[in-house]
């Protein structure tokens, strides 16, 4: 990460200013919409931040799921995304191989190649095609147990032979490092991101147990903890 440019032109950003590299903040990436801790490219004028994964997709992307170069296209097409099957219409930054009618959301291009979910001890691998030797009739997501279209990308654990929707695997905030400090929610002490909370303490806002991503005060004598969603 030492070689990241301090300022960078984000080609798909609307105002065309240089973006500043920032770190140590929690932000929601304007492209992929994931809450992320770590490096970001930020435009001070527009007050938007892009995560590194989204910032570093170049304008001519060669993508593993496809053999040709992909070109950016903006606003005008109504095709479906080859990765998730949803419309790419009016997302301002999708990528396309025109001869093949192969289209990808920027959010799908930047899906992490591996991801962890609490339902499986192994990391899931991003998979582009269902294997031909897979004769199972139905295709289901092992997390939400709903149907899965085998033509769309999915996460797969080969050790357990489990498969899941990308949305289901990534719902647990994969881009927040536990231990990151969060400030600015009105509590007098700094709060720390925690994912697995011992003894399941109750949230100070909603009263339910904290199992998933939470903000915990580690100041001695203070037991304040809230769900990330309750902040």
The minimum distance between CB 40 and Zn ion, in angstroms, equals 9
Answer for which of 95, 109, 126, 168 binds Zn ion (CB under 5 A) is: 168
Phi, psi of 54 (to 5 degrees): -80, -35
Q: Which two tokens stand for residue 131?
A: 């294997």
* Angle ∠(193,196,201) on CA atoms, nearest 5: 85
The minimum distance between CB 135 and Zn ion, in angstroms, equals 21
* Angle ∠(29,173,16) on CA atoms, nearest 5: 10
Answer for which of 7, 71, 196, 205 binds Zn ion (CB under 5 A) is: 205
Which residue number, 60 or 100, has a Cβ lying nearer to Zn ion?
100
What is the torsion angle, in degrees rounded to the nearest 10, for the CA atoms of residue 91, residue 104, residue 34 and residue 210? Answer: 120
Upper half-sphere CA count for residue 8 (Cβ side, 13 Å): 23
The alpha carbon of residue 131 and the mean position of all alpha carbons in its chain are separated, in whole angstroms, by 25
172 near Zn ion, rule: CB under 5 A: no
Q: With contact defined as beta carbons under 8 Å apart, do 143 and 165 qualify?
A: yes
Which helix (H) or strand (E) is 214 found in, with range? strand 214-217
Which residue number, 2 or 47, has a Cβ lying nearer to Zn ion?
47
Draw the binding track, 10-29, toward Zn ion (x: CB under 5 A; -: no contact): -----x-x-----------x
Pairing verdict, β 162-164 and 181-182: unpaired
Residue 23 and residue 27: Cα distance in Å, rounded?
10
Answer for which of 165, 166, 194, 213 binds Zn ion (CB under 5 A) is: 165
The minimum distance between CB 93 and Zn ion, in angstroms, equals 11
144 near Zn ion, rule: CB under 5 A: yes
Answer for which of 68, 71, 129, 177 binds Zn ion (CB under 5 A) is: 68
Q: Looking only at residues 104 through 143 of this chain, which bind Zn ion when binding is defined by CB under 5 A? A: 105, 108, 120, 122, 141, 143
83 near Zn ion, rule: CB under 5 A: yes
Name the residues that contact Zn ion, by CB under 5 A: 15, 17, 29, 31-32, 43, 45-46, 51, 54, 68, 81, 83-84, 97, 100, 105, 108, 120, 122, 141, 143-144, 157, 159-160, 165, 168, 189, 203, 205-206, 217, 219, 222, 224, 227, 230
């Amino acid at each position: 990460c030492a070689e990241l440019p301090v300022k960078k032109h984000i080609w798909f950003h609307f105002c065309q200013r240089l973006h500043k590299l920032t770190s140590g903040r929690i932000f929601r990436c304007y492209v992929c919409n994931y809450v992320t801790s770590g490096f970001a490219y930020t435009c001070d004028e527009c007050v938007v931040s892009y995560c590194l994964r989204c910032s570093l997709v170049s304008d001519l992307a060669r993508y593993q799921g496809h053999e040709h170069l992909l070109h950016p296209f903006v606003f005008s097409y109504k095709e479906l995304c080859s990765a998730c099957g949803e419309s790419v219409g009016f997302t301002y930054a999708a990528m396309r191989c025109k001869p093949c009618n192969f289209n990808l959301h920027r959010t799908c291009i930047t899906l992490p190649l591996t991801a962890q979910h609490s339902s499986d001890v192994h990391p899931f691998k991003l998979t582009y095609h269902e294997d031909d030797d897979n004769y199972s009739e139905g295709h289901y997501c092992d997390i939400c147990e709903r149907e899965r279209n085998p033509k769309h990308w999915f996460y797969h654990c080969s050790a357990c032979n489990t498969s899941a929707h990308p949305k289901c695997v990534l719902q647990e905030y994969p881009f927040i490092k536990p231990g990151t400090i969060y400030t600015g929610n009105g509590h007098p002490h700094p709060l720390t991101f925690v994912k697995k909370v011992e003894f399941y303490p109750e949230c100070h806002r909603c009263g339910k147990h904290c199992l998933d991503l939470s903000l915990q005060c580690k100041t001695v004598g203070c037991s304040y903890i809230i769900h990330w969603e309750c902040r």
